[in-house]
Amino acid sequence: MASSLTKASAGPAAEPTFLGHPRGLANLFMTEMWERYSFYGMRALLVLYLSATVADGGLGMTMATAVAIYSVYNAMVYLLALPGGWLGDRLWGARKATGIAGVIIMIGHFLLAVPVDALFFVGLAFIAAGSGLLKANISTMVGQLYPDKTDPRRDGGFTIFYMGINLGAFVAPLTIGWVGQKVDWHLGFAMAGVGMAIGLLFYFLGFRHLSEESSKVPSPLPAEERTALIRKGLIWLGIAAVGYAIVGLAGVFTIDWVLWPLTILGLLLPTWYLFRIKRDKDLSALEQTRMSGYIWFFVAAAAFWAIYDQTGSVLSLFAKNDTESTLFGFEFPSTWFQSLNPLFVMALAPLFAMLWVALFKRNREPSTLSKFAAALVLVGGSFGVMMVAQGMAAGDAKVSPMWLVAVYFMQTVGELCLSPVGLSLTTKLAPEKYAAQMMGVWFLAVTAGDSVIALLQLIGAPTDTQGWFASQGVIAALAGVAIFMWRRKVKPLMGGVN
């Protein structure tokens, strides 16, 4: 990246730039790229390691338990983005919060590298907590590099930053996935830790290039409020410790005692938080109406992410057990399939951006409701393809890798219709009182979707059947059709937002 640096022409004291943007963008780009490298590299191995036999170095868990753990872990990452943003706003500031987050993530990955089962789950908790904290704050610092919100470089800066996310996600399964799956699981997890350490190095070396605003605490927490929160936290921690101590002493503790409470929390908390905002009497009539409309989009997004996030769990196991691992005579590990989505995003995102602009100029751009409907139909259709592939993989038969290529392509097109559109819509429909918090609410849709999948696994729904793919595919596709058919009823709830 250093070769991309140029000097601004404003004079001898001008700040160095990165592709015409503030120099700090390069450091945040590299930090996020390596953090995503560690995150997606570990995630590519997670379900495979959990379900691998003890003889193969894994934990020997059932497929259902492995998928449930993966889903709960993913749900907690996005759930913890909400308190992560709060810590940045009230306690540490974005700069300090991001640094602390990176250290926590790095420790978590290195704990996974130690072949001790108890430390593995402690490591997962560390990574989930650190990822939520970092996710909520590093994007804030990108925005702070452009103090003038009308700066024409602002959108371009976020686009460059977004490409860093996908670049890290693309390379991770090709390297960490290969080493973990073909050489040693724990060496792969250690590589993820090294990746986060490299990201931290870029981050700390770039401190002087970050905005001074990033080191400030926007809304400092008063001492008395901090004391009250610590007291409440310790009380709840004590209750949990006593409860689990009783379960442990009774000799009935299993992983389900952790998975069930977290799954229920992942379903109830987003619901409670959304309706708490909706029922706030401080909201104007227009804001109340818009929140009613937003609930439609939230539920649609949760349904989308419930299917989409199975790429790292159910589809990962299908790739390993039921898909040929050779193409044109070249053999590759099944984790490489995890690189398809970021590859497609990098290839298609610029095309979609140009497409929406071109259609807008012709007054033919689809509405937000139509884009959400298309996303649900596409992700539902992808599971229709998986239903056929699962049927062809009966017995010892394995299907061509092109089936999964088609599935990932359809899901990526759906993602590009929903994810960036949903982020933009959230900022438009957000009540003024909750402007900062609503981005965290959007991430809670991922939590809710992943928690539904965890719940299905906990109650025993089989994932390796045509029924699993068919039922979810039909529900998602019908939801997309319903949104499109009822768009004239939902549109008035959006209060003029398109």
pLDDT tens digits along 178-222: 999 999 999 999 999 999 999 999 999 998 899 898 898 888 889
The whole-angstrom separation of Cα 356 and Cα 333 is 37
**pLDDT greater than 60 at residue 6:** no
Q: For the chain, give the percent of residues with pLDDT over 70.
A: 96
User: What pLDDT shows up at residue 20?
Assistant: 82
Q: Point out the least confidently predicted range of 143-157, 316-330, 454-468.
A: 143-157
Beta-bridge partners for 21: 18
User: What pLDDT shows up at residue 357?
Assistant: 84
| Residue 234, φ and ψ in degrees, nearest 5 | -65, -35
**pLDDT greater than 50 at residue 3:** no
| Residue 399, φ and ψ in degrees, nearest 5 | -95, 165
CA 61 to chain CA centroid, Å, is 24
**pLDDT greater than 60 at residue 90:** yes
The whole-angstrom separation of Cα 84 and Cα 153 is 27
User: What pLDDT shows up at residue 15?
Assistant: 64
Average pLDDT, the chain: 90
Structure confidence by residue, pLDDT tens digits, 435-481 = 767 878 888 999 999 999 999 999 999 998 999 999 999 999 999 99
Domain 18-221 shares a fold with domain 260-498: yes
Structure confidence by residue, pLDDT tens digits, 302-317 = 999 999 999 999 999 9
CB 101 within 8 A of CB 199: no
Q: For the chain, give the percent of residues with pLDDT over 90.
A: 61
Higher model confidence: residue 60 or residue 146?
60
The whole-angstrom separation of Cα 403 and Cα 397 is 14
Domain ranges of the chain: 18-221, 224-253, 260-498
User: What pLDDT shows up at residue 126?
Assistant: 97
Q: Strand, helix or coil at 462?
A: coil
**pLDDT greater than 50 at residue 490:** yes
The whole-angstrom separation of Cα 401 and Cα 332 is 11
CB 27 within 8 A of CB 202: yes
Structure confidence by residue, pLDDT tens digits, 265-316 = 999 999 999 989 988 888 898 989 999 889 989 999 999 999 999 999 999 9
The whole-angstrom separation of Cα 165 and Cα 30 is 9
**pLDDT greater than 70 at residue 10:** no
Query: Mean of the pLDDT values across residues 254-258?
Result: 92
Q: Strand, helix or coil at 126?
A: helix
Give 149's pLDDT tier (boundaries 50, 70, 90). low
Place of tokens 């049927």: 391
CB 57 within 8 A of CB 185: yes
Give 14's pLDDT tier (boundaries 50, 70, 90). low
96: Cβ–Cβ under 8 A, 6 or more apart, which residues?
Answer: 215
Q: Which of 289, 256, 242 is nearest to 429 (CA)?
A: 289
**pLDDT greater than 70 at residue 319:** yes
Query: Mean of the pLDDT values across residues 412-428?
Result: 87
The residue count for the chain: 498
DSSP letter string, 399-428:
B-HHHHHHHHHHHHHHHHHHHHHHHHHHHH
Structure confidence by residue, pLDDT tens digits, 350-405 = 888 888 888 888 988 888 889 999 999 999 999 999 999 999 998 888 999 999 99
Q: What is the CATH architecture assignment of 18-221?
A: Up-down Bundle (1.20)
Could you tell me the CATH superfamily of domain 260-498?
MFS general substrate transporter like domains (1.20.1250.20)
**Sheet holding 5-7: strands in order across?**
5-7, 16-18, 21-22
The whole-angstrom separation of Cα 67 and Cα 456 is 10
